[in-house]
């Protein structure tokens, strides 16, 4: 499975994917390009350092979403991508883009969906006063962090947490989970019917992912 990773920011999830690939833990998935909608995103430097094509497609350079997504689709096709991972990519995708990769676009979100979609999920969790939050890796639909859920991990909210410390602890979990989901997807172990996602286990793992 040839994976394009879309990013907007720091790229720590991209780094987790690159590191997993370097350890041989992402196969049969292969990262074929990294695309940022933000010029100068730190994630692009991580991609270059790993020898991956690092592409900027600035959404602000386009009059509308359709134009931006046309450029995105063209870049992905140019690298032969057949799956897409959103790793801190902070743009909503239209149905036209989503339909181009059916059950082949995954996103990681730092909350237990359907709670706290959108930006600043850790801050939202703190303000709401939940005792448990976490990370959700899900298929992407045209909503904001709403698609069918593939895997979740819980993270406790600790006394004294601020948004930064909580986000840091959530990220440690998502850095473990996202590469496992990508590997399972590439291995054909993930099936989706409506909102229900099934992850088949491997012979030797007691965990699903
Ligand atoms: C990640 O925590 C990701 O879950 C979140 O952005 C962060 C990007 O960090 N995504 C969302 O909030 C999507 N709604 P990174 O650039 O260091 O990977």
Using CA atoms, how far apart are residues 96 and 108, in angstroms rounded to an integer? Answer: 21
CATH superfamily to which 2-207 belongs: Formyl transferase, N-terminal domain (3.40.50.170)
Q: Using CA of residue 116, residue 120, residue 122, residue 128, what is the dihedral sign?
A: negative
pLDDT digits (tens, 9 = 90+) for 140-194: 998 999 999 999 999 999 999 999 999 999 999 999 999 999 999 999 999 999 9
Using CA atoms, how far apart are residues 134 and 24, in angstroms rounded to an integer? Answer: 27
pLDDT of residue 135: 98
Q: Is the pLDDT of residue 205 over 70?
A: no
Of 109, 128, 168, 204, which one is the catalytic site residue?
109
pLDDT of residue 179: 98
Tokens of 165: 């410390």
Percent of the chain with pLDDT over 90: 95
Residue of 182, 189, 186 whose CA lies nearest to 208: 189
Compute the mean pLDDT over every residue in the chain, rounded to the nearest whole number. 96
pTM score of the predicted model: 0.96
| Cβ proximity of 7 and 89 under 8 Å | yes
Per-residue DSSP letters for 18-42? HHHHHTT-STT-EEEEEEESSTT-H
Looking at the CA of residue 144, tell me the nearest atom of ligand 1. 14
**Mean pLDDT of the 25-38 span:** 98
Clarify whether 79 is annotated catalytic. Answer: no
Q: Whose CA is nearest to atom 7 of ligand 1?
A: 88
* Cα 54 versus chain centre, distance: 17
pLDDT of residue 206: 55
Q: Domain map of the chain by residue range?
A: 2-207
């Amino acid at each position: 499975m040839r994976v394009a990773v879309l990013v907007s920011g720091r790229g720590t999830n991209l780094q987790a994917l690159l590191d997993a690939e370097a350890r041989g833990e992402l196969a049969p998935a292969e990262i074929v390009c990294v695309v940022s909608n933000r010029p100068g995103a730190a994630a692009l430097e991580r991609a270059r350092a790993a020898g991956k094509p690092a592409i900027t497609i600035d959404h602000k350079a386009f009059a509308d979403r359709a134009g931006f997504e046309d450029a995105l689709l063209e870049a992905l096709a140019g690298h032969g991508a057949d799956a897409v991972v959103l790793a801190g990519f902070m743009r909503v995708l239209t149905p036209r883009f989503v339909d181009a990769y059916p059950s082949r676009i995954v996103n990681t979100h730092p909350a237990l969906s359907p709670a706290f979609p959108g930006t600043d999920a850790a801050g939202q969790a703190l303000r709401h006063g939940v005792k448990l939050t976490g990370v959700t890796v899900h298929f992407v639909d045209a909503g904001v962090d709403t698609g069918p859920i593939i895997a979740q991990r819980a993270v406790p909210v600790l006394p004294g947490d601020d948004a930064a410390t909580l986000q840091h602890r959530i990220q440690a979990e998502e850095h473990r989970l996202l590469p496992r989901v990508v590997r399972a997807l590439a291995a054909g172990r993930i099936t989706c019917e409506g909102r229900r996602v099934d992850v088949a286990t491997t012979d030797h793992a007691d965990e699903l992912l």
